[in-house]
Structure 1
Amino acid sequence: MLTTRQSRDFWLLAITALLVLGAGLGMRDPWPSDEPRFALVAKQMVLSGDWLFPHRGTELYSDKPPMLMWLQATLYTLLRDWRVAFLLPTLLASLGTLACVYDLGRRLWTRKVGLYAAWALLFAVHFTFQAKKAQIDPLVVFFITLANYGLLRHLLCGPAWRWWWLGWFAAGLGVITKGVGVLALFMLVPALVAVALGWPRVRLDLRNWRFWLGPVAFAAAVALWLVPMVLAATGSGSAEYRAYMNDILFRQTAKRYAQSWDHHQPWWYFLATMPSMWIPAFLLVPWAIPAWWRRLRRRDPRYLLLLGWWLLIVLFFSIPHGKRDVYILPALPIFCLALAPLLPGLLRRRDVQWVLGGFAALLTVALLGVGVAMLGGEPGFERRLILERGIDSAVTAALGWVGIALGSWGVVSLVFTGPRRFHIAVMSILAMAWVTYGLVGYPLFNDSSSARGLMRDAGERIGPDAELALVGWKEQNLLMSDRPVRTFGFKRRWYLQLQDGLAWQAEAPERRWLLVQQAALLDCVDRDQAERVGVANRRGWWLVPARAFVGPCQPSAVDLARIRREQGKEDGED
């Protein structure tokens, strides 16, 4: 049974995690770049009833497996509220990741270590930032962490064959969420090293028949999606379905790793990403490295498995040219778990506290500086937000006061915690910032970031009886429309979409309108006859009636080069 203090410490963690990660749930729509795409696919699953082959508009969407979209569609079916349903899977997954880290720390060391590991993960900026977004990465982080949990329960706390099988099954679920779920099984590499070197307390017996039920569980999890999809694609006789199958199974996995076509970064990219995004926990690494080395010299297998797996993940993603910060996010929970046993001692050090105090002070000054700049200290800063984001001066003023309020909270936190507990000040500032971001930032940014305001204005201008089509569109435009919308493909060249839009519009010119991204407009459109709706997501948008067309919309060589460049840039952002 938990003692009163242990119970209080656990519930403080649980309630804080729910507030920090869940603040603002239901208060915003999907925001780019990925959220509207997944929400749109999930919405089309519900409307069409086709859950096996995801669609984005009229085209099949083969960039990612459908696990997240399935969960979003299922939760919408239960809750009938997209604003809650699209964010809830990643919220639950992030809470599940924290639970795995806490319980694994408790079992490998002590309950106090489990709490420290969960607190370090909760306030790691990278984790919290992703947990508050409806993207695939928090979900795959949960499945990889659950897989590691099951494997380590057997390898270090076992024998525990049921957990061993669950670990493999969770890795398989990670694969059908995002192909990198298989990386959880890299935990076997340091385990094999430990066994080969004769380190104690590592249970890895390849001669036991129950060991081999793990790969069977992995294959069973992958088959939940793979078998029905392959049978349907090969049995349908559809070339489109076969192309979907080939793209998602080969081009988007092994080929994307071996021949990265976007997000090119140098080999040391993650060596800069971790210190900048895994803060504040990563600030303690200079003191942690000698302590880890001493424990490894004592042949402690817990550190070998945790640190070895973390380094393998970093190495794996450092090899290809294509790199993004979210690629190594699955390693963050294990990093926090390896750091947690050292935290009680490190936080008693004066130099560590002053480093954390310096971080809290910098954060406080930054918040105050942004607030003052918003309120008039730097007019250019405000103008950039208005022009690029499509928000008005009332929003920038509100953001200014929010920055000043958070900065003031930081000053109070630093004063009241004192130099021996600066880590409390760091958590206090970050917690308040994330909660404020959800409760205040979501409503302030929603219209411009989600394109809801743009689509509402477009609908009001053309009237309720008009028909609308999209050219050079983004997922949020289709998702936020107040009426059924016609599209002419998503990845097709914009000038081809514009030509098809002109032909569609000519069939009923009095009631049909085109909403066109500014970068997709050609000289065939008389802008004096069109209406500029505004800016959303750093893109300008125009309503084009039939009378605005003054030619056949044949692009010049300059137009083709510009469209290829602009559309390629957007594909890279996706």
Structure 2
Amino acid sequence: MRRFWTDPSQAQYRRTWLLLLLFTIVLLGIGIGLRDPWPADEPRFALNALEMLRTGQFWFPHRGGELYPDKPPLFMWASALSIWLTGSVRWGFLIPTTLAGVGTLLLTIDLCRRLYGRRIALMSGVALLTAFQFVLQAKTAQLDMMLTFFTTLASYGFLRHALLGPAKKWWLTGWAAMGLGIITKGVGILPLTLLPAWWWMAYRGQATRFRLKDLAQGIGVMLLCVATWAVPMIVMATWGDDPSLAAYRDNILFKQTGQRYADSWAHLEPWYYYLLNVLPWAWMPLILAFPWAIPAWWRRLCRADARILLPLSSVILIVTFFSLSPGKRGVYMLPTLPLLVMAMAPLLPGLITKKRLHWLGFGLLALLGGILLIAGILGFVGLPALTKVASRHAVSPWAWWIVIGVIALGLLAWARPRRGLWALCGWLIVFWVSWSSWGYTLQDHARSPRDMMADVESITGTGIWLAMPDYDEEFLLQSRQPSIQFGDKTPASDQFQRAFAWLQQDDSRWMFAMKRQAEDYDCIDRGQVHDMGIQNGDDWWLVPATAVGQCQGDVTAAPIFVAPTTLPDSTGSAPRV
């Protein structure tokens, strides 16, 4: 085994690569089909995909019958395809991110093999697979894992051309990948952060030169990929007879790109948010190696090693780019992980021999395992601070936490500090497998309102109309009956005024709303209200039309959007109000 890690043959490399691939597919794919989409973002994109399939409108994504201009549609197309192929939201919604995670890993391994050899390539794959945010996002149906695949493909193409080229086809492939990244999420241009250091290395003769002609060709390829969606969308929005499509066009092209970055209105955080609040856990456990990696990087940078400078400079520029924007989310750092592994790859053989690094891994595992074990025991014996939170969310994770805490202690006893990194890697495998099986089973009923919406249907009756003022997407996704909503950007007070007017038109109608909002209206007859209990941290009421007869309604307060039914046996046509 020692000889294998020092000098694997081609046959050994292929066998180990295949085993690593199979392990990755199992690790990232386990749990598919065991849970429904969870908030905050998963139900929204599942709704987008379902409405594409139900209405046949693929160019303009909708959510609850309303245009959704916040993100381009490529991820929604992929979700719609996987849901259509599997015939199930539960089975299909996680597949695109799982495949994107596998693809990102393979690109990272292959580039490291070409730059540093087989042994380092395999180690780089293992390093990426241990990164906490990478596995977390590969198991989460959000845009960012697919974005990361395209930014990694673009970086792969650029680095093949810069360091192993000239390779014009890979140069153009990189630009095409950026175009696809842009129609996944507007920041698909992140691989451009490679160009400043590339230009400097090319000027010094240590990387393939690129000319203005090459840039023009690359930009043309990128714009051509973007145009496959943008041109039909702009044409239909500009020359159509629906003003809402023109509003969608302006929103997606301008507000959700430049304005969202420069003058963000959501997720406002200070400039140091990523450095202190995100990277310490997102880059874990890779960040444990920084005390040794940073001096090693500096020595290689002093030697002008382009293989280190290009990906490392890109990581720094991406972190800086997002830190300058007032709006910040932790997932924005995901595209840095493959680049960080590429920069760290040649250091890995030396890093894993550092005794103090193994001690840090040992200490981190002791901390994580100890916290979970102690919290599990305290919750099991009934510590009020823990049981109160657990009962509110209808989750009792104590046995799960105790088990993985005990496993952590067992690994620590086996490994001792001298093998702390291996113990930590083994525990991370246990954690992710248990998270995707035991954890999903424990949490799904609390994070998905599937059961609650089944109870709503049993009370109202099948096929009865349901109003959802100021709705959450997960409830609309799980609704088993024709539903309406009143505009995502409409003030909640206007939505309730419109809901009251709509309910008063037909006594057979019902309203599903958050208790803390509905109880502000004293006109609602509390004696007719059905308290549905707690879901996702909020109490919910089911209110019949007869309970709002004394409420002041206003039919002009908000628009009505009909949500196409998502029942499996639905014809897909939107019911009429």
TM-score between the two structures when normalised by the length of structure 2: 0.91
Aligned residues of 1:147 and 1:171 also touching (Cα < 8 A):
yes
| Deviation at residue 554 of structure 1 after TM alignment | 7.2
Output the CA distance in 2 between the equivalents of 1:51 and 1:205: 37
Is residue 338 from structure 1 mapped to residue 348 from structure 2 by the alignment? no
Output the CA distance in 1 between the equivalents of 2:541 and 2:230: 42
Alignment-derived partner of residue 137 in structure 1: 144
Aligned residues of 1:94 and 1:142 also touching (Cα < 8 A):
yes
Is residue 175 from structure 1 mapped to residue 174 from structure 2 by the alignment? no
Is residue 354 from structure 1 mapped to residue 359 from structure 2 by the alignment? yes
| Deviation at residue 361 of structure 1 after TM alignment | 1.1
Alignment of 1:105-504 (within 5 A): 105-196=112-203, 198-200=204-206, 202-206=207-211, 209=213, 212-272=216-276, 273-387=278-392, 389=393, 391=394, 395-396=395-396, 399-464=397-462, 466-504=464-502
2:346 maps to a residue whose letter is P
Alignment-derived partner of residue 508 in structure 1: 506
TM-score between the two structures when normalised by the length of structure 1: 0.91
Is residue 103 from structure 1 mapped to residue 107 from structure 2 by the alignment? no
Alignment-derived partner of residue 86 in structure 1: 93
What does the per-residue CA deviation read over 1:461-482, in whole Å, with 9 as the maximum and x for residues that have no partner? 2232533222221111111011
What does the per-residue CA deviation read over 1:273-305, in whole Å, with 9 as the maximum and x for residues that have no partner? 212321001111111010001111112111111
Output the CA distance in 1 between the equivalents of 2:407 and 2:12: 28
Alignment-derived partner of residue 70 in structure 2: 63
Output the CA distance in 1 between the equivalents of 2:264 and 2:183: 20
Output the CA distance in 2 between the equivalents of 1:454 and 1:137: 30
Output the CA distance in 1 between the equivalents of 2:87 and 2:64: 21
| Deviation at residue 369 of structure 1 after TM alignment | 1.8
Aligned residues of 1:145 and 1:333 also touching (Cα < 8 A):
yes
Output the CA distance in 2 between the equivalents of 1:483 and 1:40: 15
Aligned residues of 2:498 and 2:553 also touching (Cα < 8 A):
no
Output the CA distance in 2 between the equivalents of 1:180 and 1:237: 31
| Deviation at residue 508 of structure 1 after TM alignment | 2.5
Aligned residues of 1:140 and 1:178 also touching (Cα < 8 A):
yes
What does the per-residue CA deviation read over 1:492-515, in whole Å, with 9 as the maximum and x for residues that have no partner? 222322222223222331x22111
Q: 4+ residue stretches of structure 1 with deviation over 6 A?
A: none
Q: In 2 relative to 1, CA 18–366 (structure 1 residues): closer, same or farther, beyond 3 Å?
A: farther
| Deviation at residue 131 of structure 1 after TM alignment | 1.3
Alignment-derived partner of residue 571 in structure 1: none
Is residue 24 from structure 1 mapped to residue 31 from structure 2 by the alignment? yes
Residue 484 of structure 2 aligns to a residue whose secondary structure is strand
1:517 maps to a residue whose letter is M
Q: Say how many residue pairs are matched.
A: 544
Alignment-derived partner of residue 77 in structure 1: 84
Aligned residues of 2:463 and 2:481 also touching (Cα < 8 A):
no
| Deviation at residue 485 of structure 1 after TM alignment | 1.6
| Deviation at residue 258 of structure 1 after TM alignment | 1.1
Give the root-mean-square deviation of aligned CA atoms.
Answer: 1.8
Output the CA distance in 2 between the equivalents of 1:269 and 1:459: 44
Aligned residues of 2:463 and 2:482 also touching (Cα < 8 A):
no
Structure 2 gap segments, 5+ residues each? 1-7, 555-577
1:384 maps to a residue whose letter is V
| Deviation at residue 3 of structure 1 after TM alignment | 4.0
2:242 maps to a residue whose letter is S
Aligned residues of 2:160 and 2:167 also touching (Cα < 8 A):
yes
Output the CA distance in 2 between the equivalents of 1:125 and 1:411: 20
Aligned residues of 1:192 and 1:204 also touching (Cα < 8 A):
yes
| Deviation at residue 211 of structure 1 after TM alignment | 5.5
Alignment-derived partner of residue 52 in structure 1: 59
Output the CA distance in 2 between the equivalents of 1:363 and 1:4: 38
Aligned residues of 1:471 and 1:520 also touching (Cα < 8 A):
no
Residue 263 of structure 1 aligns to a residue whose secondary structure is coil
Q: In 2 relative to 1, CA 402–10 (structure 1 residues): closer, same or farther, beyond 3 Å?
A: same
Output the CA distance in 1 between the equivalents of 2:22 and 2:408: 21
What does the per-residue CA deviation read over 1:59-101, in whole Å, with 9 as the maximum and x for residues that have no partner? 2100111111111111222221111221110110011111111
Bigger drift between 226-235 and 275-284 goes to 275-284
Alignment of 1:518-557 (within 5 A): 518-521=515-518, 522-549=521-548, 551-553=550-552
1:251 maps to a residue whose letter is K
Alignment-derived partner of residue 572 in structure 2: none
Output the CA distance in 2 between the equivalents of 1:44 and 1:222: 23
Output the CA distance in 2 between the equivalents of 1:472 and 1:7: 54
